[in-house]
Each structure stands twice: as structure tokens, then as C-alpha cells.
Structure 1
């Protein structure tokens, strides 16, 4: 039986970032991942927001052109609300390349990564386990930590496109008939297009691939692919950060910890920030053996940052028909509504502070 300081379960962005930070601090770190290749089973849309781009050393060669323009469309698709930021707000990544970059960084720091190794049959004993194994975390169950219970389910097509005469744009369509409790989207940066939708799984009017095909046909301006279409999808936890995400045997990061914005479902920024905090807390705990150190990784305190967005998530989830959404757009078209939308889409807030 092999022994290590830290076993990281899951080689997504959260797991690899945590592994790199811990290995760089001198710990013996092993990452196990059930997938045999990191370019398969990708679930995230790969949209990085400005504050992530500013605070983290991402591989810019694997990021698409900057997006400053967001257009919000009501169910009727008439009279949309256009918002333009003076700053570069979004860039969409080639996530397979980003994962490969993160893998190389973790290994260069000294972490060992084993693909095709499911948990818990890794044949390893560890002083501490980091669960970075997704929305339905096996580590959370094994350690008796909290588990995600509120989900959206999403699907997305990604494909290369030709150059566009218009500015790179993030289109969001709010239509509870198509995407109940969430939205459909098109991000076209003139390099790749991401066309997808997500909603409450028990309220979808048809299977997701059929709804996505309908969206392709209905929404104007969906570009023509110039290369192969890649499909991805999966569960999106939207209940906010879980309360109990650490114990003396291990902790959770990324989707496993519920580190996804309840309102926007954006998870890449909190994924990296929480991984930094998790690595700092894990390192201090392993060096001191003091369980009180783990209180710094308090899901309840992090969850408090979500109060407003959890309330807005509830309101969005309760919207059942297009008439209510159309009425909400009347408010979005006012100066106050536009300011509120800009705050959500272009705001500076995040969690936790970078470690």
C-alpha cells in the first residue's frame, strides 16, 4: 500500500491547481483521475471572467478574443438589452489545452498524476484527501461531508467559426419554456462559438439535445461551424457553497464543494480561489496537526457571500412562464435595471479572497 501526504481525487482545474500549490510547498501529492484522458468528459463552458484573468496566470495562448458586449434577450427575442463594458470581461478557453497546461504545472511542481484510476480503489493511504471529483462527490460521501442537492443540467455545442464583422458577443436568452430556471446562450468571439442551454432537469419540456437543436434553429445569428462540433454537458450545482466542506480527514474543492455562483452558474473563478485557500489550509493543518486550522475553510462563512444571489436564484427558479420574464425585461430596460444587470455581469466581487 502506497502512502502519501495528500491524495487529490479529480484532475479538473480545481484538483490540479490544489495539487500544484501543495506540491510546490514540499508535500508528497498524488492525483488520481478516473478518466484516461483529460480532453474527454469536459463539462465546463470554459468562460473565464475578468477578475480570474487579472488574478491568475492562465495560458493566454489558449484563450479566445476578449468579450466586452453582452446582449440579454427576452423570450420573444424582441427589444433585447445590450450592455457593453469598457473593460475586457470574458474570454473563452480551449479547456482541453487549459487542462493539459494545468497538468504540466502540477507535475512540474512535483505532484504525481495517475489517469484511469477510480476512487477509492487507488491503492493509496493518505494523511489527507482533497475531493475535487465533481458535483456528485464520492469523497464527500466517504468523509461524511455535505453533498450538493440542487442542480441544473446543461448541454453545449462548441465549434470553430470564421471571422465575424461584429464585436465578440455573449448572448443570453431567458425563456422558461426553453431553459426553465436558467438561460440559453451563444458566445461568439469570432474564433469559436459556444451554443448551449441549461435548466431544472424536472421541468425541461424535452430532452436537452432536442431543445438545443430547437435553439440552434430559432435563435438568429448562430454561426455556421467551420470544423467539427464538440458536445459537452452535465450537472451544475447551484445551491451555493456547502456548509461542511472540511474535516480532519479531508476537504472539498470546486463543484464538489458547491463552489459555483447560484445565479450565473459560473464556477471557474471560485474554483481557482477556493483551491488556493484549500491548499493553504491543508498545508498548515498537515504541518501543525491542529484541527482548528480547518475552521478557516468554513463553507458557512463562504456561503454568506451568496445571500443575494441565492435569493435571485429562487426568484429565477420560480419563474414559470414567458409573460413574467417579458415583464422583468421592462425593468431591465430602465437605468436601474441596466445598472443591476451590469453589476451581476461585470462586477468585481468574488470569493474567497485570493490565497
Structure 2
């Protein structure tokens, strides 16, 4: 299997799905169509009519369903065909697959696996741009690269030194490469933490500071980064362990990012990055920083993908800095293996005689 299916994938921000519009989206190499029903609830169907496989994304929204504009079949929110022009009887076979979809944290999430296992509690704590504690502007970026290469890029932030290592950057070599990193295994991901000592800060003002960074990287590819800036010397005060509430941060920042595989070598990258709500005037600055940094990531990751495709059979050689990558990928492989095992298990059939 190429993907974990029993998990929630982000397919857009809430505002990406206005009422009255049909939105096609491809993920895990499958085409889906999303729209709001008459009650405003988001619905997700397979993007193909079950009659002649015409795409429903070029259909027409009506008050009680989505009509295919090839031969006029209409489908309800649950995928049932509820009208066949010129035919009274509707076969129960006339239906299209549906997918659980939930709006939470200002984003839309879809479950591509077993619908019976679609537990909303498994949606990561993706504190979106609508949260009152933060000042964020959301964004999206598309990659011509395998989703796991983007995951790897986010799981090892030592790349900041070189990918984003301009002379005036906050990502100085001695700070990101030399910092001691703590990697903790979580039930559905990993947590990576470190102090960055003596940083000038993201906006370059206020002299040298200490930065506590900690991020959770969760299945299927959700990156939740906390960055708290403190007076110089705070890292030493806490013996380079996680700070407690006895010292007030000078600034807090948060970044919520989601990697969604589209096809084998294309991916979608959603992001929101910003400071706490005390600095609403800094939203544009942080968006600019994010766009520059993520564009730099895109260049190196897409170049990496091209090299990989030209180098069949060549294996990567891990480094000590790859600890989080190795742990997360092992978890991902275990989940895919378990799903494959369940999918291939024989189905028990019981006779009427018992």
C-alpha cells in the first residue's frame, strides 16, 4: 500500500468551499467531489457517475442532490441515485461511493478508509487560522513531489541552516545544526523539541533571544510547530529543558501545516503561520516569511524528487539527524502493513444452518 487510508486528510480551508460551488479534489490517486448541501453541510462523493463514469464535478447542484450532466442521474448526499430521467425504477446498484468529511479548526478533513473507523477524535489538534489566540493568514502550495519527501523535510529542521541560510536569516548554522534535539514517540507520530540560543528573531528586532521550538508531526502528515521566544539566557536557566510558566515569553508563534498526497508524485501543502493575537499587525510579515521559506523548501524537495526518479535502486544513507524521520516512517509503514493485512484477510461466511 502507498498510503495510510484510515486517517483524516486535509482537503482545504473552510472558505475554500462556498455554498453553491462544486469542488473537485484528487487525493491518494482518487478523484472526489465536494460541495455543500442545502443545509450547508459539506459532502464528499467519488467524482464519477456510476452510469457511464462521467465526472460529477461538471454536474449541477440542486436543492436535493448533485445531478450528472451526461444523462441526468441525480445523487443524494449518501451517494444513492434518487432520479433517473425517463425511468421510474431505480436500481439499488445505482450509487456512488461517499466519504466521511468533517469541518474542524477552520479546515475540511476527509477520511478515505473504512467509514466505520472514521473517528473525529483522530483529527489532529490543528488549531487553525480562525482561533482567537493567533494571528494567521492561511495558504496553500502544490508540489511535484512524493508526499513523503515533504514529510521528511518537515521532520528534520536542521535543513533550515542551508535551505533557508541567507546571511540575515534566523536559521544560522551554529543554531539549528548544533542544537541538541529531543525526539519523543507519540501514539500517532513524533514530537521534536530543541532550544535555539542567541537567535535574532524572525523579524530581526530586539537583539539576541532564546527560542524554544517543539513540534508534533502526526499521521498522515500534520505538522504542528510551537515557537516561544524568551530573553537570552532562558535556555540555560531551564537546563535546556522545556520551559515552564515561571517565565513569560516575549512572543509566541504557531505553525499548522498539512501534507496531502494527490497522486504518486504530486502533493498539496496547506499552511498557516503567525504570532499570538497580541500582534495582529504582524500577520502579513509572518505570511511573507512563510511563503519565502516554503518556496525554498519546494525548490529543494522537487529537485530531490527529480534526482530520485533518475536514480532507480539507489538507497539513501541516514544520518543521526534523521531520528525523527526514521521513527515516523516506521510508524507509517506499520500502519500501512496493518491495513493491508486487514484488507487481505479472508471473510468468514456462515451457512444458514449455523
Provide TM-score, normalisation by structure 1.
Answer: 0.23
Bigger radius of gyration: 2
Provide TM-score, normalisation by structure 2.
Answer: 0.23
* Bigger helix share: 1
* Bigger strand share: 2
Q: Larger relative contact order (C-alpha < 8 A, sep ≥ 6)?
A: 1
